[in-house]
A = this chain, B = another copy of it.
Amino acid sequence: MKVFKHELHIDSEEKMIAITDIVRGDIEVSGIFDGVAVIMCPHTTAAITVSENTDPNVQHDMLYAFEKVFPRNDNEYLHEDGNSFAHIKSAAVGVSESLIIENGRLILGIWQDLYFCEFDGPRTRYFYVKIMEG
């Protein structure tokens, strides 16, 4: 089974973008009814996570909290590109997620969406989706 690759055009510095429907489309194309979907981003200043899907303020509060904890500016950072904060957020949140597929449907709570998290935009980004049958 081939790996799906998707492109995102992200227009701001930090943003969480719901990608659940894209993954659901891949599952439908795959024809797989039972298994696991692995979603992964090949970037070191972005991440993949699952979070609340109804109130956009939750995403605001999450990006705010991560910025407070891992701030943009810190005199102790050595990395000269100046984006250590984004590398750190990426590793803290994680670059992949594994979700369960049952009867052709992704198992998610009613309040959950899968998100691509941009921490160092604006950029063109990618993510991969692998559907495993089993």
Residues in B with CB closer than 8 Å to A70 are 65, 69
Chain A, range 44-89, C-beta contacts under 8 Å to B:
44, 49-52, 55, 57-58, 60-62, 64-66, 68-70, 74, 76-81, 84-85, 87-88
Tally of chain A residues near chain B (CB < 8 A): 62
Residues in B with CB closer than 8 Å to A38 are 36, 98-100
Total copies of this chain within the assembly:
3
Residues of A whose CB lies within 8 Å of any CB of B are: 1-3, 34-36, 38, 40-44, 49-52, 55, 57-58, 60-62, 64-66, 68-70, 74, 76-81, 84-85, 87-88, 90-100, 102, 107-112, 128, 130, 132-134
Instruction: Give min CB distance, A54 to chain B, whole Å.
Output: 9
**B94 near A49 (CB under 8 angstroms)?**
yes
Ordered by A's residue number, 8 sampled pairs between the chains whose C-beta atoms are within 8 Å are A38-B99, A42-B107, A44-B109, A57-B77, A60-B79, A61-B77, A62-B91, A132-B132
**A84 near B65 (CB under 8 angstroms)?**
yes
**A55 near B42 (CB under 8 angstroms)?**
no
Q: Besides the contacts A36-B38, A94-B97, what 9 more A-B pairs have beta carbons closer than 8 Å?
A: A3-B100, A43-B112, A44-B51, A57-B78, A61-B88, A62-B88, A65-B70, A65-B84, A65-B85
